Amino acid sequence: MMPYALYLHIPFCRQRCSYCDFNTYTTLNDLQPAYVAALAAEIGQIGELATAAGDPRPAVRTVFFGGGTPSLLTVAQVAHLLDTARASFALASDAEITMEANPGTVSADWLADVRALGVNRLSFGVQSALPGELALLGRAHDFAAAVEAVGMATAAGFDNLNLDLIYGLPGQSVADWAQTLAAVLSLAASAPAVTHISLYCLTIEPGTPMQRWLHSGVIHAPDPDTAADQYELAGRELAAAGFGHYEISNWARPGRECRHNVVYWRNEPYLGLGAGAHGLAGGYRYQVVRQPRAYVRRIRDATPVIGGVRQPFEHFFPFPISSAVAAYHRVEAAEAMSDTAITQLRLLDEGLDMAGFAARFGRAFDDVYANEVQQLEAWQLLHRHNDRLLLTERGRFLSNQVFYRFV
């Protein structure tokens, strides 16, 4: 059976970024101990369900603490979650264990302690090197804090660090973006532990402060042509610095691709736990309830008490549906084929494995999507190489239009 990736959502933040529409909260710090206890209990639930389904202690190859700001967890809380995961799953000895962190929320002691617990990869939300852009984004740190965090992480024994950056900001010129790239690549040159860089084009999401500023005229909409120029510049600069462009938004030094995220991009099974998390496993796609207090209640009151005895959890739910799941459905072949096409094409060197697709679904990719592929090849957005289908250079810039054809 294919091993799983395990995602654990930590929804707490010190402050809300102006662009963020993730499932995060700044006013629920009092809930953190109860939430961590519930998350550990949900890990245990999934382990019980797997055992009942005939797969005791299923194999897990990666763990990813996402948020929110997972670096707000105490060392004891991280230890509790990892200990529970190791008791419930067969965690690979070489598992990639990633923790998202914000510069300014980590200390040298905390980093050394979580490294000793087995966390071996950090993802720092740097976003920009320019003070004005960080203020616009609502970030609490400056670039000096990011440099300090990288230094402390390196001293603590981490040798696999990702830096997140955002481009396509309102009013951000190509020259502004070049300054951030130069600062980050200078940092990477002096800190070999920086092995991975993720670049995200800003999307102004409904309900965010940035959307309100846009509607009220405080900011102007980003220029997509400028964003395309920024993306192109980043590709050149990162390549020159030794980072390979392996996924649309991600660059890595050789062998340092994010193993956890590659599971998503191959459309392979993963377990999503915690408030608002999504998962794909056991033939189901599911979403956990979003509100953290509701999440804690659902885990606490997982099964009914009959005759003074709480009933066995596995009698009420199929693997991997925990008591906190708000919605789920069986993934039919058409949905799975569409998802596989869209996600695998994001991998720029690997692309869509057409032989693997046929083995998985019993149908040739060209038979399922003959018209779509013919048109995209004619437009020079896709090309073939060794039984794989890949985005062309032009297709990388128009990837959303490509993916839309497979929906």
Q: Give the model confidence (pLDDT) of 165-218 as tens digits.
A: 999 999 999 999 999 999 999 999 999 999 999 999 999 999 999 999 999 999
- Residue 305 is assigned to a structural domain of this protein: no
Q: Is residue 210 part of a domain?
A: yes
Longest dimension (CA), the chain: 70
Verify that 247 and 362 share a domain, yes or no: no
Is residue 290, in this structure, part of any structural domain at all?
no
Instruction: Write down which residue in 216, 239, 265 finishes a domain.
Output: 265
Q: What pLDDT, in 10s, does the model give residues 2-51?
A: 899 999 999 999 999 999 999 999 999 899 999 999 999 999 999 989 99
Residue 373 belongs to domain spanning: 352-404
Q: Could you tell me if 25 and 145 lie in one domain? A: yes
237 in any annotated domain? yes
* Peptide bond before residue 125 is cis, with ω within 30 degrees of 0: no
Determine the pLDDT at residue 69.
96
Quote the mean pLDDT of the chain.
Answer: 95
Residue 329 lies inside a defined structural domain of this protein: no
- Is the pLDDT score of 314 beyond 70? no
305 within 8 A of 299, measured Cβ to Cβ: no
Residues 110 and 227 in one domain: yes
Beta bridge partners of 242: none
CB 87 within 8 A of CB 72: no
The percent of residues above 70 in pLDDT, for the chain, comes to 97
Q: How confident is the model at residue 302 (pLDDT cuts 50, 70, 90)?
A: confident
Share of the chain above pLDDT 90, in %: 93
> Which residue is associated with the tokens 């408030």?
275
What is the rounded distance in angstroms from the CA atom of residue 251 to the CA atom of residue 174? 19
Is the pTM above the cut of 0.85? yes
**Domain identity same for 228 and 375:** no
Q: What is the CATH number of the domain that holds 389?
A: 1.10.10
Is residue 47 within 8 Å of 78, Cβ to Cβ?
Answer: no
- Cα–Cα distance measured from residue 54 to residue 43, given in angstroms and rounded to the nearest whole number: 17
Q: Would 144 be classed as within a structural domain?
A: yes
Q: Are residues 219 and 115 in the same domain?
A: yes
Q: Which residues of 348-359 are buried (b: 16+ CB within 10 A; e: fewer)?
A: bebbbbbeebbe
**Res. 315: pLDDT tops 70:** no
Residue 253 sits in the same domain as residue 387: no
Tokens of 4: 């799983």
Residue 92 to residue 259: CA distance in whole angstroms: 13
Spatial separation of the C-alpha atoms in residues 274 and 8, rounded to whole Å: 6
Which domain-ending residue is among 224, 248, 265?
Answer: 265
- 308: alpha, beta or left? (left if phi > 0; alpha if psi -120 to 50): left
Kindly state whether residues 259 and 384 are assigned to the same domain. no
Give yes or no for residue 305 having a pLDDT over 60. no
Domain shared by 230 and 365, yes or no: no
Q: What is the CATH number of the domain that holds 93?
A: 3.20.20.70
| Number of independent structural domains in the chain | 2
Instruction: Work out the average pLDDT over 318-330.
Output: 93
Decide if 306 is inside a domain.
Answer: no
- CB–CB of 228/234 below 8 Å? no
Per the structure block, which two tokens stand in for 44? 């245990």
Using one digit for the tens of pLDDT, what is the confidence trace for 118-164?
A: 999 999 999 999 999 999 999 999 999 999 999 999 999 999 999 99
Q: Could you give the CA distance from residue 119 to residue 297 in angstroms, rounded to a whole number? A: 29
| Residue at 311 is within a domain | no
pLDDT score of 247 more than 80:
yes
Backbone angles phi, psi at 333, to 5 degrees: -60, -40
Count of other CB atoms within 10 angstroms of residue 223: 15
In 1-110, where do the E strands start and end? 4-10, 59-67, 90-101
Last residue of a domain, which of 249, 265, 281?
Answer: 265
Q: Check whether residue 236 and residue 378 sit in a common domain.
A: no
